[in-house]
Structure 1
């Protein structure tokens, strides 16, 4: 189905074509030369990839298309568990992951900036960060449209009353003319409390983070 699948299951080694890694990095090169500054700053490694993609797509006037590309990538990886497992496997050579991604890109008709992003992630051994990069890009695009993207993670699903209260509180952070785009996530591992990401701001108010903090204090005093 995708290049490398047989090798994933049989362990057979193959030689890649000499030019298999000679990818034309329009993503990196166009973003590096006179980069387009994003409307919202995103941090960390995921943020750097997302910012480079925004710059490249902006110059090509393909921001909306690339955003749609990334939505399709997420849908495809969610629907194809075998491909996702293959791409995340530490035993698969990076060049094989690149080839698998290129075939997936052809199948779902991705544009060059999106293809180059995925190829760079695979080559650098960071394809497991694709969801984080897509999330960071979504934050930038929300700012581009004049929206304020808010992501709230709780240990269990909020009821409707709490959702309304949360919406009211978050509106105070929005500038005039900004629309609140609220995304709710559930992660039982945080135990309680919540983790809130508002644009480029991040606040961890989870019970898990407090436990970790107190543990570090106790260990430091022993």
Structure 2
């Protein structure tokens, strides 16, 4: 059986845009991917609200820096055949990173970690699929506007930046914004229809990578 790790933030965790809780299991994109792939693949989900690519955020009791926690997650779930990384939305906050170039570098650091982690039992480094998150949606809410400032515009650049990073590192790439849109309720998160769309869209890509 093949094992796939989905490493992400609240878009992977399944945060409902109105703040009412978490999407039903069947609506979260990693679970949709699991359903599409069937029992030949085991999909492991590791999504944390607020997680960044490689930047510190001290506003939470959780460690949100994705670069600091990735090695531990890889060690907990190895051997892995594929790691899917979808991060970057939280980097767009002005007090985190706020620009696409910095976020691209964060993704490149995550690729380095996956490739060089100290796997045991002669396990090989897994393949990598980089996903750019859907761009932020402008909303008429002052805290949102202050938090993201230039981040809305910068989020629209992530797909091109991530594609370049994936090409340079010989990784697979998918633009989640090609099939999903962030909600007009909060500008950041996905409704059930859009998170399901991501899981369905990447299923054939994952099948191809894993040669299923």
Report TM bin, short chain: under 0.3
Hey, which of these two has a bigger chunk of helix by percent?
A: 1
Larger radius of gyration: 1
Structure with more relative contact order (C-alpha pairs < 8 Å, separation 6 or more) = 2
